[in-house]
Structures are given as structure tokens and as C-alpha cells.
Chains A and B, each alone.
Chain A
Amino acid sequence: MIGSKFKKKQGNTTPGINTSSLPDIIFILLFFFMVATVLRETSLKVKNSLPQATEIEKLEDKSLVKYIYIGPPQDMYVKQYGTDDRIQLNDAIASIGDIGLFIESERAALRPDKRSYMKISLKVDKRSKLGIVTDVKQELRKADALLITYASIKREEVY
């Protein structure tokens, strides 16, 4: 008796898949990406494939880290800037002399008690030459920005 009753209700149409939980799943994905990623602040004008190293440490406080990019200009900028290594500060290609001012303005934007903890991350393309990196380091010393990191990618195997 019960069986026949059940069959009656079934009908011939195939039931649609219930998608009401789909937004929840997407929201979970969204939150994951919001937490695990940081906003991309600058668009890179120089090539930036970082070297690999084993003795690397994590940078703790993101708000105190300022970036200097060095590398050959990307293909679309070659006509404008040539193929030699160039320095990029924020969004623009800069020259060595601009670094002091860049450091000063970044430092002034920080809270006074945090200024001495400002760190500079040197994101240098591995094909760059040491000369330009040294020039940048000398400018950083002059500007009294002494805490730097050579941004690198983790290499697992050790020599």
C-alpha cells in the first residue's frame, strides 16, 4: 500500500539539482582568497624572476615592508627604457638618485614609533648585474635604511 502511494507522487519529470548551497560554497572560496592573498599594489614594469635560496626567512609585518624592483624592462617597455637593468619604485621606473627621496617619503608615511623598523625588500631579477644592486644598496645606506632582504624563492635541495 505504502509503495503504491509513493509511486504516485513521483511523476515522470526528473528533479533539478538543488543549487541553493552553491553560493555558500563560493563564499567560502571567496573568504579563503581574501585571507590568503594580499592586494597587488603595483604593476610591474620590469621583469622579476627571483633567485632561489635556502636560507630564507619570512617577512613579518607587511605594512613595514617597502619594495624596490630591479630588472630588465618588460618587453612592452623595451622601446621606452631599453634593455639594461632598471629600478622601479612604486609604479614608475626611477633612477638611482630617486631612492633617497623614496625612502624619506615612505618613512614619513609610517607611524613615528615604527619608522626605525622599516624594511626594504629588494626584488631583483636573477639576470640582473651586481653593479646596479650595489649602487642601490649604497643609496639605502646613505638614507639610513639598513634592514633589507633579498627576496628569493625557497629552494629545497642543498648543495
Chain B
Amino acid sequence: MAKGKHRPDNEINAGSMADIAFLLLIFFLTVTKIDTEKGIKVKLPPWSEEEPPDVDVTDRNAFVVLVNSRDELLVEGERTDITQLKNKAKRFIANFGKDPNLSTSPQAAVISFKGNRGTSYDMYIQVYNELRAAYNELRNELAEEKFGKPVSEFTEADSLKFEYVKEFYPYRISEAEPTNF
């Protein structure tokens, strides 16, 4: 309908382009999922035939965490609420030999975590998460004190500092085979 003098009407009709793009969009919406790949990283101990030695409960360097099939938590022989677990673990790890009932050094301290086959996975993760949080908070405190920034702000250039922090507070969470009663 252009009333111009010599303009031929030769534009490509792009109206259906939107429809094609919509189809593609809907296809991708249905066959893909939004990326949520996150989790607690764990390194399992290598397989060995013999049973690992039982943790000596009376040893001051062992911090015994037990969970039963009703998701109740027992820490060092005391019934404990999960909200207290992190602070107890931190006190145990960073004792440096002061309290005679707690660990001698963070490198020697071992957290022994034993569940039950009937424990819910959710409870297991919550407990494991709290133990990890205890270590991570201690690492952050050390990093703040020594290097003036938390571990999360370390860059590639700080790998030596990270090694230092990791060596100072190594993750030592040992998992025993869950009991079966």
C-alpha cells in the first residue's frame, strides 16, 4: 500500500519467524533443566578388606558422634541437639591441649561419626554438614587472623595459604559402618 513513487514491495514477511523462535524456545524449556549441581564434597577412603580398627572412646583425641535410628544425636556420650553440635566440635578441634578431655591438636583430632542403617539420610546430611561447618569456620578464623581474609576470598595466587590452612585444620571425619539394630 506504499504510496511512494518507485518502491517495490519486496520485504520478506518475518511474522512467522516469531513462531519458529517460540517453538525452539519451548523445546529448550522442556528438555533442559536449570543448573543446580551443588553438594557436599567428600573423599572416600580406599577400599580395604579388613575392618577399620574401632575408635577408642576414651581417647581424648576422638570425638564420638552417634545417631540412632530415631534420628537422635549422641555426642561424646551426651544427648545433644543438632544446633549445639557445631560449637562442641569446634571446641574439641581447636583445644590445643588445654582441656584434658578434648583434643591435643587439630591434626590429631578425629571425629568419629557413626549412624544407624535406619537413620534418615536427611539427618545424616545435617550432622555431616555441621561437622564440616565446624572445620570450615575454624579454617576461616585462621585465614582471617593470618592473612586478613576468609578462605572463600582466596584466589589462585593464594594456593599456598590455602594449603597452610588445610594442613592446619585437616578434615578428619571418620565414618564407621552403621550399626544394624
Contacts and interface: CB of A to CB of B under 8 A. Distances in A.
B24 A30 contact: yes
Nearest to A128: B121
Given A59-B37, A150-B128, A159-B82, A144 B46 contact: yes
Interface stretch (B12-20, B58-66, B98-106): B12-20
Contact of A153 (B38, B44, B124, B180): B38
Interface in B93-139: 115-122, 124-126, 128-130, 132-133, 136
A152 B38 contact: yes
A27 B29 contact: no
Contact of A56 (B35, B39, B115, B124): B39
Interface string B18-62: 101110110011011111111111111111000000000000000
Interface stretch (A18-26, A74-82, A87-95, A106-114): A18-26
Given A23-B21, A56-B40, A130 B35 contact: no
Given A30-B21, A51-B121, A126-B122, A59 B38 contact: yes
Contact of A130 (B15, B21, B25, B178): B178
Contact of A128 (B44, B115, B120, B180): B120
Contacts of A57: 38-41
A130 B34 contact: no
B119 A130 contact: yes
A38 B35 contact: yes
Contacts of B22: 26
A2 interface: no
Nearest to B39: A149
A130 B121 contact: yes
Interface residues of B, number: 52
A65 B37 contact: yes
A84 interface: no
A140 interface: yes
Contact of B129 (A23, A54, A125, A138): A54
Contacts of A125: 121
Contact of A40 (B17, B31, B42, B115): B31
Interface of A: 19-20, 22-23, 26-27, 29-30, 33-34, 36-40, 51, 53-59, 62, 65, 70, 121-122, 124-131, 133-134, 137-138, 140-142, 144, 146-154, 158-159
28 contacts: A23-B21, A26-B18, A34-B28, A36-B35, A38-B33, A51-B122, A53-B40, A55-B129, A55-B132, A56-B40, A121-B39, A122-B39, A126-B122, A129-B118, A129-B119, A130-B117, A130-B119, A130-B121, A130-B124, A131-B118, A133-B121, A137-B44, A141-B45, A146-B44, A150-B42, A152-B39, A152-B125, A159-B130
